[in-house]
Amino acid sequence: MKKGLKIVTIGGGSSYTPELIEGFIKRHAELPVRELWLVDIEAGKEKLEIVGEMAKRMVKAAGIDCDVHLTLDRRHALQDADFVTTQFRVGLLDARIKDEAIPLKHGMIGQETNGAGGMLKAFRTIPVVLGIVEDMKERCPNAWLINFTNPAGMVTEAVLRYGQWEKVIGLCNVPVMAVNTESALLQKEEKDLFFKFAGINHLHWHRVYDKSGGEVTAELIDKLYGPDADPGKIVENIRDMRFLSDQIAQLGMLPCPYHRYYYMTGNMLQEELEEAQHEGTRGQVVKKLEESLFELYKDPNLDYKPKELEQRGGAYYSDAACEIINSIYNNKGTQMVVNTRNRGSVSDLPYDSAVEVTSLITAHGAEPVHFGAFPPAQRGLLQVMKAMEELTVEAAVTGDYATALQAFTLNPLVTSGDVAKVVLDELLEAHKTYLPQFFSTELAPVGD
Amino acid sequence: MKKGLKIVTIGGGSSYTPELIEGFIKRHAELPVRELWLVDIEAGKEKLEIVGEMAKRMVKAAGIDCDVHLTLDRRHALQDADFVTTQFRVGLLDARIKDEAIPLKHGMIGQETNGAGGMLKAFRTIPVVLGIVEDMKERCPNAWLINFTNPAGMVTEAVLRYGQWEKVIGLCNVPVMAVNTESALLQKEEKDLFFKFAGINHLHWHRVYDKSGGEVTAELIDKLYGPDADPGKIVENIRDMRFLSDQIAQLGMLPCPYHRYYYMTGNMLQEELEEAQHEGTRGQVVKKLEESLFELYKDPNLDYKPKELEQRGGAYYSDAACEIINSIYNNKGTQMVVNTRNRGSVSDLPYDSAVEVTSLITAHGAEPVHFGAFPPAQRGLLQVMKAMEELTVEAAVTGDYATALQAFTLNPLVTSGDVAKVVLDELLEAHKTYLPQFFSTELAPVGD
Amino acid sequence: MKKGLKIVTIGGGSSYTPELIEGFIKRHAELPVRELWLVDIEAGKEKLEIVGEMAKRMVKAAGIDCDVHLTLDRRHALQDADFVTTQFRVGLLDARIKDEAIPLKHGMIGQETNGAGGMLKAFRTIPVVLGIVEDMKERCPNAWLINFTNPAGMVTEAVLRYGQWEKVIGLCNVPVMAVNTESALLQKEEKDLFFKFAGINHLHWHRVYDKSGGEVTAELIDKLYGPDADPGKIVENIRDMRFLSDQIAQLGMLPCPYHRYYYMTGNMLQEELEEAQHEGTRGQVVKKLEESLFELYKDPNLDYKPKELEQRGGAYYSDAACEIINSIYNNKGTQMVVNTRNRGSVSDLPYDSAVEVTSLITAHGAEPVHFGAFPPAQRGLLQVMKAMEELTVEAAVTGDYATALQAFTLNPLVTSGDVAKVVLDELLEAHKTYLPQFFSTELAPVGD
Amino acid sequence: MKKGLKIVTIGGGSSYTPELIEGFIKRHAELPVRELWLVDIEAGKEKLEIVGEMAKRMVKAAGIDCDVHLTLDRRHALQDADFVTTQFRVGLLDARIKDEAIPLKHGMIGQETNGAGGMLKAFRTIPVVLGIVEDMKERCPNAWLINFTNPAGMVTEAVLRYGQWEKVIGLCNVPVMAVNTESALLQKEEKDLFFKFAGINHLHWHRVYDKSGGEVTAELIDKLYGPDADPGKIVENIRDMRFLSDQIAQLGMLPCPYHRYYYMTGNMLQEELEEAQHEGTRGQVVKKLEESLFELYKDPNLDYKPKELEQRGGAYYSDAACEIINSIYNNKGTQMVVNTRNRGSVSDLPYDSAVEVTSLITAHGAEPVHFGAFPPAQRGLLQVMKAMEELTVEAAVTGDYATALQAFTLNPLVTSGDVAKVVLDELLEAHKTYLPQFFSTELAPVGD
Ligand SMILES: [Mn+2]
Ligand SMILES: [Mn+2]
Ligand SMILES: [Mn+2]
Ligand SMILES: [Mn+2]
């Protein structure tokens, strides 16, 4: 009989941690987490202690049987873990700020999961995640890796292809929020609707059906993106930018908020440029938000997740991670939208790639609900972005400069040619400390 | 607001009808069937009346609000139907007896859903089903067709490809029985296991996982087909024939009972020959069973499904049909194994083909759980059988002799060459009345 | 016994016609062209007469048995034709000048076969080509259509998919020039090298092998695009723009000159902007070139193709058309790079699409030499461009505005969002006369 | 500058060798073979000497500059070879006789390249070929392996998949003979026809076009297999068995002679049984033929290929091998039908498999002419046979009994069930000496 679960959270000093704690507390009846290890690095020690103490207060206030451990020793923490969650940021928010500012300076969108910035984030993050996987092979070879470090799709691809590790699920809050928003808009309960998502992380489309068997996708497109729609602020960290209503209607599917970067590139760039001049880039804004969050967390009387966290932009991420863990542990077969190996479920993408697709979460992992083939408007963008991801992941692992340049060229948010090279060079130099693979004189071995 | 459902059952005089009635009765709280129309043809009038009267007694005894109608006028019955189920047999059991006897006489397996016999059944049945679809287009264009007339896979393929009708689900009791048997064998509840089936009707494989996330397929293979296994009588209408245990272990998946025809061809043929000499072919046995069932049904005091029906061989078929109707009506998302359009869920088969695969049954139909690619031992057999099905369906529609011969040649249960031609000719002649497409002098148009 | 061939050239008044005539003259021994019909429209009558008279002089000077006919009656000309070649330009060079100028005004590349301009050219051209195909079905149902009207790939796709006409080959001079240039660079004869091209029109890659069996692609990459290369002016109508040498080396294949638009977008745009300010857009330059060519053609003593034609930018186009006609007529099996139906030869593109691929030209058409799958850097760009082509062709046929917008969004040379819509609107308005499908109030039927 | 070629022939003592010598002699002007090493094993020493001496006489009589070496030291012979040809038979004709007799005894077709016999031949041959490949990696890593040892398709598959050796071409005389026969039947020269073959070794179909562009496949089908055809003896080692003319017409393609085993299974079995009773199996007949051939070869005055060799059944094999070597050496781009890696050219088979397909033979190997997708009658048989081949090759490498049994089950010529197991056991036992992989107690490592 299983005694209880050991969870290890890499990047435990993150401001998101209270949501994760709350998630475990509210599922305690069916999900017996007995040990929670919050792991961070030396540079994050202070934050780890602040958020760790608060986590302990939350657990104590909830009166549940769960020990919270704080440590900088990752390998020790991983020993015999059941689930490992990852939510760290290599180079902290300062790195993000550079990812945003440098491309913008050269007239390109600066964004932390798309465009040049997102690709640099992949270069910094993937080697660290592959290091965690190596530790897991040694310390907890039966554990599941639940990743919500961005870019979550490319990280999943790297873990599957180069880490040779199958027990991984990548996670994003975008589908969760779409389901919430659209259910509310239709004035129906989530259980009375059927949502079918497919694509890759931050670039997926979905269709929605109701209980009568009818498809309500067109109705939702009209309500959300039609000529008379008032979309409101859908995702905290994406601007409230209207789509071209003709274009969305032609898709016959609902886009994700990040489609704005690809469908409204000119407008998004314009807005970013203006925003950078006034309030600062998103990274600069978030940095201030985080500082005030940590001020809150220091309050020795705070023993619950403060409302302010929701404005942070990552709401539902940690809660979704808890739900996945719960569904795996209890073989619930819950429908969730996750990053997993394609295996043909999205016909237009390579069989072995990572995709983000509606799946049943069972005791043995994610079983994709089959999606099939896309029409050309979706297919073309999806295929070029997946190729871009493959090249980015390869460059992240090998440190090959030309591969990185190729990935930049494919990304629709990067202007190709000399300017692409200039931006790449400047970004590599700016993040040099975190990119030994690009600066080492020795050849890095390519996996696969 | 929906008032209640109208169900039309084509072949309503079938001995299976009481199971269907029972299925609706036991689901009455959530599935408001208000009208049930049992439709049959002139030749089946007597049976329709016997079973129809019994159906009325069952409904009355259950005290539910549902009118049972008996009619020979199919088009009238179909008007405004919500669901149409099909369970008829063209040419009745006498045709089946010929399907079994003629191949056997020439040293080939005689079986009503595989081999030469099953192909002739397709030739007789498909034009009738396509006729029903044409009536549905006119009388109830929003209805679902739930087919459990055999060969259920080829019928589904024909409805999709030539009938151009998407709202069809084909059904078989074999997966239902496998789930029951294997859950019992593992001493676990079905809800604590995850079953993943894929293939085509009467030729699919499955894998099973338990709540710990571990795969229990190998354990089941060993229990059911290992050197020390005692399989017992798994399906009523398939002989209790042991598989070669080495072969099943190599598959790494559980076969279906009909695999015996393909994996144990020599032995199955031998047994059929012996059986035909002694007790008669399966069709002859069933004919006697049916006669005694109808004797029972005549009893004006019988108002429940008699136990004897379960020995008939089609147990769970009608109940599964009720469950599908229930899942569609209530958007339940139940996991069931059904015949539906592939759309890429089984990578080794054509995108548009019918497959039999674990699916979520929702208000808008069957959503396959993705299966992916098979290893070569499964792939080869599956692909040749699907090609055989495509040719058989095409021949059923066009009446093209050479296409029929080609289908015979591909079927592993038919010996190719002159003897195939002789058997085909003899079968066509024997069923001439039901095969106008093969004997008409005018060219039949090919759909698609 | 065949009497001799009848060739019909639509757009016969083109300045390219003398090269075509020269091509037939030099192949006269094996290719017995007896009738050549030059067809043009009312607006091109003057040019048709100038170039037509010159064609007659050329034929006469060569002393071959061939009648040259000039006509504005296309349907009459097509009667019993053996080959139809198309080389017309809807809206003449003035339309091209708009295709170039309007996008440029909004900060996008203006080019007649790529970007927004090339797409508008497709919108204007495809309906005309489909009209020719309809005439051919009636007047010369066994003829071959050899198209070299741009965008040649999309025109071929339209003819195959919407025209339902299989006997079409699309042609471009880019591969011809690559073969010439690279053979010279290697100081080898073409017959001692093996060239393997694949992709789509104006976006293909190739590999080269020599007689020793070794691949010389890397050597050519280095010579043409390496850090020390001096590429020179490869194609007349494409600027002499250096690629990033790292990027081309990573490809492991030779790009085509039009890749500069996709790989060097920033630089190409900059150059176009400068050029437009000084010498005018390419269309304006060509217009002047053409005027001086027609002055030459008027000379009643000119009875051979003047050297000046080669500077026009379309050299080898017409000669390649003659060679295809010759190879078909004589079943030569020559290796040529043509636009034809994929049928799986380029694994990464849809089975039924048009591709541009090394093929054997035989009496029954183009047989692609198999190419297989591309690595991700090529695959991603190729797939997004093919999807863009599919949408462009669909919009050209249906006149659907949203489909056109979707195509614009996918094209890497168009900035998506409001500016895409503005450019599209302005271009549609500018070409309104030639785009009834977009302005008609009646619904256009979609083929396929 | 290349000095001249070194060819190594493994199985040099074969009765076919004189055809090979003749092939090199007649191509001497363009193919400068300077060294020919005939290699055999101890058991073949006597035959090697007889045929080797004759080879020397042939070379001398031709007056060409070529040294013929005879050796039992394979590794020595392979040093610096340019081409290696393989034409050996593991276990000699006695093994073939067992391959034929044992299945026949159990009511199954006994044939050396199909059915149970051909599979056993694969089990014996593949490990030896993989050993040769290992020697080549060390001694002549740039050489081409031209294999015509049967089963040539599975051997090629094994070399590609498990040998990881790309420079291999597998060869069969069946397409050569079809081209000869059909050209003659059409009274046309081969160069005026276009032949397009695709499939796998001994199971391919082809289409034929003439110089007018018309397809003449149907005409050939009618002449060869129509109701009034008189096929004659097409291939020496296949019986003169008529196909069912309806069936062949439905294919719309020409079958290969070995299709008789699959399309006329009942008849072929009947004939084999009768033949075995009277003249003996084909192996027994060939053994006598060979003995008399070697008697001829002993004649010290015989210095040319005797006519009697053509009756041996392998005519054109060695000549085709010479032509491939010539085409590679001279980068001729000749169209030949060879076994090579699919790479998508036959859409219905796995991308990495060996296929037999019309190819251009160039200096860097075989470039398939694209074939595309088959209709279902061809597709089903082809796919099940390829899966059978994959399992057979895997079993040959691993010695895994269950995999062998699975392969037997898939083969349409083997009756599945207990009798398959009995035949497999008996064959393994009979060939035990040559099958260490099946009898070793140590686990054989699986490549790939
Ligand atoms: Mn996300
Ligand atoms: Mn069934
Ligand atoms: Mn061109
Ligand atoms: Mn052969």
* CATH code, D78: 3.40.50.720
Burial of D187 (0-12, 13-18, 19+ CB in 10 A): exposed
Of the candidates D262, D383, D402, the beta carbon closest to that of B380 is on D383
- Is residue D414 within 8 A of residue D116, CB to CB? The reply is yes
pLDDT for D227 equals 86
pLDDT for B231 equals 55
| C430-433: long-range contacts, CB 8 A cutoff, minimum separation 24 | C430/C98, C430/C102, C431/C91, C431/C95, C431/C98, C431/C120, C431/C123, C431/C124, C433/C91
> Nearest residue of B to residue A207 by CA position?
B364
Residue D209 sits at the chain C interface (C-beta within 8 Å): yes
CA distance D138 to D132: 10
A432: CB partners within 8 A, 6+ apart: A439
The DSSP secondary structure of C77-133, one letter per residue, reads HHTT-SEEEE---TTHHHHHHHHHHHHHHTTS---SSSHHHHHHHHHHHHHHHHHHH
Q: Does D447 score more than 60 pLDDT?
A: no
Structure tokens at C128: 């005309």
> Percent of chain C having pLDDT more than 90?
82
Name every chain C residue with its beta carbon within 8 A of the beta carbon of D347: 343-344, 351
User: Which residues 226-255 of chain D have a CB within 8 Å of chain B?
Assistant: 244, 246-247, 249-251
pLDDT for B240 equals 65
Q: Stretch C90-98: mean pLDDT, rounded?
A: 92
User: Which residues 387-426 of chain A have a CB within 8 Å of chain B?
Assistant: none
pLDDT for A239 equals 54
pLDDT tens for D11-61 read 999 998 999 999 999 999 999 999 999 999 999 999 999 999 999 999 999
CA distances from C352 to C161, C339, C390, D390 (A): 8, 12, 11, 29
In a domain, D52, yes or no: yes
pLDDT tens for A368-388 read 999 999 999 999 999 999 999
Q: Stretch A48-67: mean pLDDT, rounded?
A: 95
Name every chain B residue with its beta carbon within 8 A of the beta carbon of D386: 380
For residue B61, the Cα-to-chain-centroid distance in whole angstroms is: 30
SS3 call for B367: strand
pLDDT tier at D442 (50, 70, 90 boundaries)? Answer: low
Question: Which of the residue ranges A105-119, A415-429, C247-261 would you say has the lowest mean pLDDT?
Answer: A105-119
Q: Stretch C127-136: mean pLDDT, rounded?
A: 98
pLDDT for D113 equals 86
Angle between helices D17-26 and D317-330 (to 10 degrees): 40
Q: Stretch B47-64: mean pLDDT, rounded?
A: 96
Question: Which of the residue ranges A124-138, C433-447, D170-184 would you say has the lowest mean pLDDT?
Answer: C433-447
pLDDT for B448 equals 41
pLDDT tier at A24 (50, 70, 90 boundaries)? Answer: very high
In a domain, D130, yes or no: yes
pLDDT tens for A198-254 read 999 999 999 999 998 899 999 999 999 998 886 554 544 455 678 999 999 999 999
Name the DSSP letter for residue A431: T
Of the candidates B215, B330, B344, the beta carbon closest to that of A373 is on B344
CA distance A435 to B13: 75
Question: What integer best gives the mean pLDDT of chain D?
Answer: 92
Q: Considering only CA atoms, which of C104, C128, C257, C120 is closest in space to residue C180?
A: C257
Question: What integer best gives the mean pLDDT of chain B?
Answer: 92
Strand residues in D290-418 grouped as ranges (E): 334-341, 354-362, 365-368
Name the DSSP letter for residue C415: -
Name every chain C residue with its beta carbon within 8 A of the beta carbon of D345: 344-345, 370, 372
pLDDT tier at A78 (50, 70, 90 boundaries)? Answer: very high
Length of chain A: 448
pLDDT for D121 equals 97
Q: Stretch A300-327: mean pLDDT, rounded?
A: 84
Question: Taking CB atoms and an 8 Å cut-off, how many pairs form between chains C and D?
Answer: 101
In a domain, D417, yes or no: no
Length of chain C: 448
Question: What integer best gives the mean pLDDT of chain A?
Answer: 92
Which helix H or strand E contains C327, and what residues bound it? helix C317-329
- Is residue B165 within 8 A of residue B133, CB to CB? The reply is yes
Structure tokens at B116: 């030469």
pLDDT tens for B353-392 read 999 999 999 999 999 999 999 999 999 999 999 999 999 9
pLDDT tier at C240 (50, 70, 90 boundaries)? Answer: low
Of the candidates D267, D394, D415, the beta carbon closest to that of B417 is on D267
CA distance C348 to C342: 10
pLDDT tier at C446 (50, 70, 90 boundaries)? Answer: very low
Which residue(s) pair with B200 in the sheet? B203
CATH of residue A275's domain is 3.90.110.10
pLDDT for D314 equals 67
CA distance D375 to D370: 16
Q: Looking at this protein, which amino acid is placed at residue C407?
A: A
Q: Does B232 score more than 80 pLDDT?
A: no
pLDDT for A238 equals 56
- Is residue B284 within 8 A of residue B92, CB to CB? The reply is no
C374: CB partners within 8 A, 6+ apart: C198, C205, C346, C347, C348, C382
Ligand 4 centre to CA of D173 (Å) is 6
Structure tokens at C231: 């590429």
Q: How many domains does chain D have?
A: 1
pLDDT for A236 equals 45
Q: Stretch B174-180: mean pLDDT, rounded?
A: 94
Question: Which of the residue ranges A228-242, B146-160, B271-285, D330-344 would you say has the lowest mean pLDDT?
Answer: A228-242
Q: Stretch C43-61: mean pLDDT, rounded?
A: 95
Q: Stretch B322-332: mean pLDDT, rounded?
A: 94
**Residue C417 to residue A263, Cβ atoms within 8 A:** yes
pLDDT for B445 equals 45
- Is residue B355 within 8 A of residue B161, CB to CB? The reply is no
Q: Stretch A407-434: mean pLDDT, rounded?
A: 97
Q: Looking at this protein, which amino acid is placed at residue A296?
A: L
Of the candidates D210, D344, D345, the beta carbon closest to that of C363 is on D210
Tell me the Ramachandran region of residue C355: left when phi exceeds 0, alpha when psi lies from -120 to 50, beta otherwise. beta
pLDDT tens for C325-376 read 999 999 999 999 999 999 999 999 999 999 999 999 999 999 999 999 999 9
Choice among A16, A162, A225, A258 that is catalytic: A258
pLDDT tens for B287-315 read 888 899 999 999 999 998 888 887 776 67
**Residue C344 to residue D370, Cβ atoms within 8 A:** yes
Question: What integer best gives the mean pLDDT of chain C?
Answer: 92
Containing domain of residue A241, as a range?
Answer: 1-448
Cα angle value C9/C12/C14 (rounded, 5°): 130
Q: Stretch B407-421: mean pLDDT, rounded?
A: 97
Which residue reads 């009708």 in tokens? Answer: B165
- Is residue D342 within 8 A of residue D354, CB to CB? The reply is yes
CA distances from C349 to B162, C76, C371, D45, D342 (A): 28, 38, 11, 55, 17
Residue B14 sits at the chain D interface (C-beta within 8 Å): no
Angle between helices B376-398 and D401-410 (to 10 degrees): 10
Q: Stretch A103-112: mean pLDDT, rounded?
A: 91
Q: Which ligand is nearest to the CA of D173?
A: 4
CA distance B103 to B411: 13
Backbone angles phi, psi at C42, to 5 degrees: -50, -45
Name the DSSP letter for residue B109: -
Backbone angles phi, psi at C206, to 5 degrees: -145, 160
Which helix H or strand E contains C8, and what residues bound it? strand C5-10
Give the residue with greater pLDDT, D309 vs A218. Answer: A218
Question: Which of the residue ranges A7-11, B44-48, C83-87, D281-285 would you say has the lowest mean pLDDT?
Answer: D281-285
- Is residue A380 within 8 A of residue A348, CB to CB? The reply is no
Residue A334 sits at the chain B interface (C-beta within 8 Å): no
Structure tokens at D23: 């092939």
Q: Does B234 score more than 70 pLDDT?
A: no
Q: Stretch C311-326: mean pLDDT, rounded?
A: 83
CA distance B172 to B165: 20
Q: Stretch C290-312: mean pLDDT, rounded?
A: 87
